[in-house]
Structure 1
C-alpha cells in the first residue's frame, strides 16, 4: 500500500473510532488531527470535508461489524443459530464490542435522526441490509423445514433486530452485558416455538 493510501486509511480508521465514541457533532476536525497525528493540510489533501470523512468512516465501521456477523453466521448450522449469531457478536458489548464505541448503526441512527440527513441515510441503508439478511435467513429456514410455514419473516427479523439493538443500548447505558444476554436468551426461547417440532 502506498504512503498516501496508508494516510487515507489511517484518517478513516481513527475518525471511525472517534465518531463512534463521541458522535459526529462531538468530533471536530481538530479532534481528527489529534487522533491521527496528521496536520490539517494532510487531512484536506485526502478529504474535501468532515462529512466526506464521516461517510467513509461509517462504511469502515459497519464493514468491520458486518465481517464479525459473517464469521458467526458461517459457523452456525441452522437458521435459528444464524439469527443468534448477531447477538453472539455483541455478547461482550461493554468490554469488547465488534467495533470500539458499540454499534455504528445504533449510534449513527440516534445521533443523526434529526440533525444529519445524509448520515441518517447511511444508517437506513445498514438497517435495510441487516433486515434483508435476517429475513433471508428466516425464509431459508422455512424453505428447509426448520421454521413453521406460517412464520412471517419480516416480522421476526424486525423483532430480532429490535432485541439486538435494544440490548446493546441498555447494556452500554448500564455498563453490564446482562441486557444483551437476556435479549439473546429471550429470542432463543422464542425461536424454539417457531421451529418445526421433531427437528
Structure 2
C-alpha cells in the first residue's frame, strides 16, 4: 500500500528543519533523536509524514539540491553574456561570494560520498542532480556557440564536465585543507577554460 503523509505542510516543515542536519551528518550519522530535536516533533509525528528515516533523507537532499540549483540558475540568469553565465557558476562557489548554500558543503558531494556503497536511492538522486547541472551548463555553452560567442568546435559536454569537476574539486580541497590557495588555483583554471572557448 502506498504511504500517504498526514500533512503536506508538516512534511515540508520536517524537510526544512532537517535539511542542514542531513547535509552535515549524513543519513548514517543522523539518529531519530536528532530528527526529533531538529524538528521539535515526536517520532510518531515524523513517521506519520515519512515512511522512514531514509525517506526524510531523500526529501532533505532534494530540498538542499533544489535550493543550490536555484541560486546557481538565478545567478547565471542575472547576466546577459554566455561567458558571464558560465562564470557565475564558478564564482558563486568561491567562499568570498558568501553564497547561501546549505551549510555543510555541496549536497551532491556529501550525498555521493556517503551513499555510493550504502544507499542506491540516495546515490541515484544525487546522480540525477549532477546530470541536471551538467545539462544546464552544457546548454549555456551550446547557446553561446549559437550566439557566436563561443568557438564553433567547442566540446560542450566535455567543457561542462571539466567546469563541474573543478568546482567540486575546489570544494573538496577547501573543506579538507582549509587553504584558499588551492581553491583560487582551481577556480582560476575553470575561468581559463571559459576564456579559452570564447571567440574574442
The answer to whether the superposition gives a TM-score over 0.5 is yes
TM-score, L = length of structure 1? 0.90
Give runs of aligned pairs for residues 32-181 of structure 1, distance below 5 A. 32-92=35-95, 97-181=100-184
> Any idea what SS the aligned residue of 1:33 has?
helix
Deviation readout 1:58-94 (Å, 9 max, x if unpaired): 1110111011102210122222221121122222289
After the TM superposition, which parts of structure 1 deviate over 6 Å for at least 4 consecutive aligned residues? none
Q: Given that residues 109 and 120 in structure 1 are in contact (C-alpha distance below 8 angstroms), is that contact kept between their aligned partners in structure 2?
A: yes
TM-score, L = length of structure 2? 0.90
Q: Given that residues 90 and 190 in structure 2 are in contact (C-alpha distance below 8 angstroms), is that contact kept between their aligned partners in structure 1?
A: no
Shift of 1:39: 0.8
Cα distance in structure 1, aligned partners of 2:99 and 2:157: 30
> Any idea what SS the aligned residue of 1:25 has?
helix
Aligned residue pair count: 195
Shift of 1:130: 0.5
> Any idea what SS the aligned residue of 2:48 has?
helix
Shift of 1:6: 4.1
Shift of 1:5: 4.2
- Which consecutive residues of structure 2, in runs of 5 or more, have no partner in the other structure? 1-6
Shift of 1:37: 1.2
CA 1:68–1:179: 2 relative to 1, 3 Å: farther
Aligned pair partner of 2:189 in 179, 186, 191 = 186
**Which range is displaced more, 147-156 or 167-176?**
167-176
Aligned-CA RMSD value: 2.0
Shift of 1:187: 1.6
Cα distance in structure 2, aligned partners of 1:149 and 1:69: 25
Shift of 1:102: 1.2
> Any idea what SS the aligned residue of 1:23 has?
helix
CA 1:115–1:93: 2 relative to 1, 3 Å: farther
Q: Which residue of 1 aligns with 2:13?
A: 10
Cα distance in structure 2, aligned partners of 1:16 and 1:116: 18
CA 1:96–1:155: 2 relative to 1, 3 Å: closer
